[in-house]
């Protein structure tokens, strides 16, 4: 892991430097930060390249490598600047970032966070890579004479990076190495942070009435788990400030309603919602937030076999309501239904958010730029939207009405798990979940299908799992 140093010690000769500058003050910044010779070369290169805000320029001076990062002081968040910077500095053993006078402390820490997020990689299974293929960056030094920077002040940002990277690790793992049992064991380790982690095995799930989740899991050799993670940061009260519920289908073949083979390998990521919940609880513990939060994740595999649930079967949920299962590939909502009922009944939460890679329909509606949000509380939805905007994990609200809800009525049970229409698939899925929300509970649903994976690679989200939801939840929890 890269070390981040916040001090004004004298640099050793030859240390690569990063010069941060706004475009309008570029000449003055270069002249103040570099030797006359270096400043002259740097200015010539920048003018020749016609640099603009967001650009990174690098060159090798006779004495050291120099990187020039053009940023806009009006940016609300400089995390992206750090992410962009990383790909230019990753092959240096150490770099010193010269912080300009007009940059505040928060901006410095945001850039460090951006470097941490942008430097993530999942390469544990690559056996033939050479040393030259790995990033070499070990130390990043931030020099700012006008600021009182410290490693202690950076701790909340480092905690956020840790939570996101952990969620990415969980989601990137292949399904053979991230079964419900393996994932629950991994989560259990987090108790060293002060988190209260309880694992419910299949026997406990049966006694508690997780009938829908068990129905999804019954076709797999890998037994299901439910994991409850509690962070009780406010010992002065017993109430839970927020409940988080995550879909954790560690592999989704679709069950008897089998998915097409092409692309099925991506279904190892159908537990990204659960990973986001776990990552967010880890952030809460590392940041020692003065709030009480409980997270519940349901970990199952959805496989076809002779023991699998069949289309047309009817199952009684934990709530007592019956569900006609028309499509076994609409399994995530079944798992979430029992989890939502459980967290309300067991922990009396009055504010709950569920997160899931729930429907392909949300990608048709929103693509891969935003997640969908729906719910029964406009106040909570607005809070989620604000947190999404502030964290860079944006969401867009879709409507829930009685007309959509009626589409989930069944002729032989209390409800069915699909609407039998291709229309409004994300909305009707949320309507199904709404039937498991008790009166008086504020509820929001996040459909993050499409947001859980980055296929091309961006400055803050390299290829692979994104950890979407962790930053949003962290922002939301910070403001409770």
Residue 341 host element (H or E): helix 332-347
Q: Is 265 helix (H, G, I), strand (E, B) or coil?
A: helix
Place of tokens 């820490």: 109
- In this structure, are residues 380 and 444 in contact, taking their beta carbons and an 8 Å threshold? yes
> Are 232 and 196 a contacting pair, CB within 8 Å?
yes
The encoded tokens of residue 82 equal 């750090």
Instruction: Quote the CA–CA distance of 412 and 118 in Å, as a whole number.
Output: 51
Distance of CA 458 to the CA centre of its chain: 15
The DSSP H or E segment spanning 333 is helix 332-347
Which residues form the catalytic set?
259, 333
Reading the block at residue 326, the tokens are: 């028309």
Backbone angles phi, psi at 119, to 5 degrees: -90, 0
Alpha carbon distance 85, 4 (integer Å): 15
Strands (E), 165-262: 196-200, 225-232, 242-252
In this structure, what is the dihedral angle of CA atoms 63, 69, 70, 72, given to the nearest 10 degrees?
-140
> Measured between alpha carbons, how far is 399 from 377 in angstroms, rounded to an integer?
12
Nearest to 476 by CA among 351, 358, 367, 362: 351
């Amino acid at each position: 892991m890269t070390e981040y140093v916040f001090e004004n010690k004298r640099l050793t000769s030859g240390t690569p430097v990063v010069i941060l500058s706004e475009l309008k003050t570029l000449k003055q910044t270069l002249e103040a930060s570099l030797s006359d010779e270096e400043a002259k070369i740097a200015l010539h290169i920048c003018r020749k390249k016609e640099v603009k805000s967001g650009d990174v320029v690098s060159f090798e001076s006779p004495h050291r490598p120099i990187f020039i990062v053009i940023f806009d002081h009006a940016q609300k968040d400089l995390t992206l600047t750090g992410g962009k910077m990383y790909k230019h500095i990753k092959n240096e053993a150490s770099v010193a970032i010269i912080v300009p006078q007009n940059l505040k402390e928060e901006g410095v820490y945001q850039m460090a966070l951006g470097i941490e997020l942008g430097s993530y990689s999942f390469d544990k299974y690559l056996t033939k890579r050479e040393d030259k293929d790995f990033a070499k960056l070990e130390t990043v030094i931030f020099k700012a004479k006008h600021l009182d920077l410290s490693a202690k002040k950076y701790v909340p940002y480092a905690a956020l990076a840790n939570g996101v990277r952990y969620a990415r690790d969980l989601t990137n793992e292949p399904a053979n190495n991230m079964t419900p049992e393996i994932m629950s064991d991994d989560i259990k380790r987090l108790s060293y942070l002060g988190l209260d982690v309880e694992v419910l095995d299949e026997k406990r799930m049966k006694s508690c009435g997780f009938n829908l989740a068990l129905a999804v899991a019954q076709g797999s050799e890998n037994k299901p788990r439910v994991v409850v993670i509690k962070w009780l940061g406010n010992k002065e009260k017993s109430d839970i400030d927020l409940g988080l519920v995550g879909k954790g289908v560690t592999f989704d073949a679709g069950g008897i309603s089998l998915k097409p083979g092409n692309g099925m390998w991506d279904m190892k990521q159908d537990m990204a919602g659960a990973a986001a919940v776990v990552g967010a609880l880890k952030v809460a513990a590392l940041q020692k937030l003065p709030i009480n939060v409980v997270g519940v994740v349901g970990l199952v595999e959805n496989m076809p076999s002779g023991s699998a649930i069949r289309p047309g079967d009817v199952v009684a949920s934990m709530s007592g309501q019956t569900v006609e299962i028309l499509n076994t590939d609409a399994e995530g909502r079944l798992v979430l239904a029992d989890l939502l009922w459980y967290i309300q009944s067991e922990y009396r939460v009055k504010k709950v958010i569920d997160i899931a890679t729930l429907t392909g329909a949300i990608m048709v509606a929103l693509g891969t730029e935003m997640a969908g949000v729906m719910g029964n509380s406009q106040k909570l939805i607005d809070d989620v939207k604000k947190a999404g905007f502030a964290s860079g994990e944006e969401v867009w609200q879709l409507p829930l009405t009685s007309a959509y809800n009626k589409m989930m009525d069944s002729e032989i049970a209390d409800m069915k798990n699909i609407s039998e229409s291709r229309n409004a698939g994300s909305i009707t899925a949320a309507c199904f979940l709404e039937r498991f929300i008790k009166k008086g509970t504020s509820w929001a649903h996040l459909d993050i299908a499409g947001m859980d994976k980055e296929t091309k690679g961006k400055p803050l989200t390299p290829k692979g799992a994104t950890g979407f939801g962790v930053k949003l939840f962290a922002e939301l929890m910070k403001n409770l």
